[in-house]
Amino acid sequence: MLKRVDLGEADKILTLYTPHFGKLRAVAKGVRRPSSRLGGHVDEFAYADMLLARGRDLDIVTQSQTLETFRRMREELWRGSCAYYIAELVDCFTEDRIENGPLFDLLVVTLRGLSESDDLWTTVRFFELHLLELVGYRPQLTHCVGCRTDIKPESNYFTPSLGGVLCPACGRNEVSGLPISLNGMKVLRYLQRLPAPPAGGLRLEPAVRREVESALRSYVEWLLERAVKSCAFLDRLRFEGMAS
């Protein structure tokens, strides 16, 4: 589940992401009453097996059984905040009722990582790169998006408005190009190539992390034409030293 919003006195509207129908909105009726049978089984970000009935406007949740709650994500603020961020991105980048099985799998793997991994930074960057690919915006990291030459092992420029990397010659003339070091490029390419997040995480210098994170964030915000709401909260937690 990506999101829950209160409706009327006792209901909630749920935004769900499903393996076969993509994103769906459904009503969980009476779920805020203490006596509700559904109550304990419609947690935000949980992985659940649900039965929906076709409604006039929105589907109606008739049964729900939680399969995974991702416990540590609920107990630790930073883990939970990262989950808000990835759920917001999935919501922003998808339309209702368009099947995308690989994106469903990516979401489950990422939520599991946010509950279990000790390197949430890498879990979230892996998610961003692969989400972009699965919704048709794979960042171009091997050829210059200006002159098409192979990107060489040196400092280059990441350019959100062009969806990839510019070589030094092209990048110098592009005002929106963000410098990206050789190590920053290696991390982006490595994570893009991997089929699953690296089990042990990545040990990286803070400067390289900042570069990679800001390249991906700029690209996401350029595509959405706005800031991602939950990013402001993540930034504040980090500023206050509550991030890992």
The residue range among 94-102, 141-149, 177-185, 208-216 that interacts with Zn ion, by the rule CB under 5 A, is 141-149
Q: Does 165 bind Zn ion (CB under 5 A)?
A: no
Residue from 10, 98, 147, 227 touching Zn ion (CB under 5 A): that is 147
> Total binding residues for Zn ion by CB under 5 A?
5
- Pick 37 or 152: Cβ nearer Zn ion: 152
What do you get for the CA distance between the two ends of the chain, in Å? 25
* Closest to 205 measured CA to CA, from 178, 186, 219: 186
Pick from 146, 160, 164, 177 the residue near Zn ion by CB under 5 A. 146
Following CA atoms 58, 59, 61, 62 in sequence, which dihedral angle do they give, to the nearest 10 degrees?
130
Q: Counting contacts by CB under 5 A, is residue 170 touching Zn ion?
A: yes
Amino acid at site 68: E
Sole window of 2-10, 21-29, 73-81, 169-177 interacting with Zn ion (rule: CB under 5 A)? 169-177
Does residue number 67 form part of the binding site for Zn ion (CB under 5 A)?
no
Q: Which residues pair with 61 in a beta bridge?
A: 52
Q: Which residues pair with 27 in a beta bridge?
A: 13, 60
Residue choice 14, 28, 86, 144 for contact with Zn ion (CB under 5 A): 144
Q: Per rule CB under 5 A, is residue 180 in the interface with Zn ion?
A: no
The alpha carbon of 90 is separated from its chain's Cα centroid by a whole number of angstroms, namely: 6
Could you count the other beta carbons within 10 Å of the beta carbon of residue 14? 26
Q: Shortest Cβ distance from residue 151 to Zn ion (Å)?
A: 9
What's the gap between Cα 167 and its chain centre? 28
Residue span binding Zn ion (CB under 5 A) among the ranges 22-30, 84-92, 97-105, 160-168: 160-168
Q: Which is nearer to Zn ion, 32 or 143 (CB)?
A: 143
Q: How many residues does the chain have?
A: 244
Alpha-carbon distance values, 6 to 9, 159, 234 (Å)? 8, 40, 24
- Asked if 48 is part of the footprint of Zn ion (rule: CB under 5 A), the reply reads no
Interface residues with Zn ion (CB under 5 A) are 144, 146-147, 167, 170
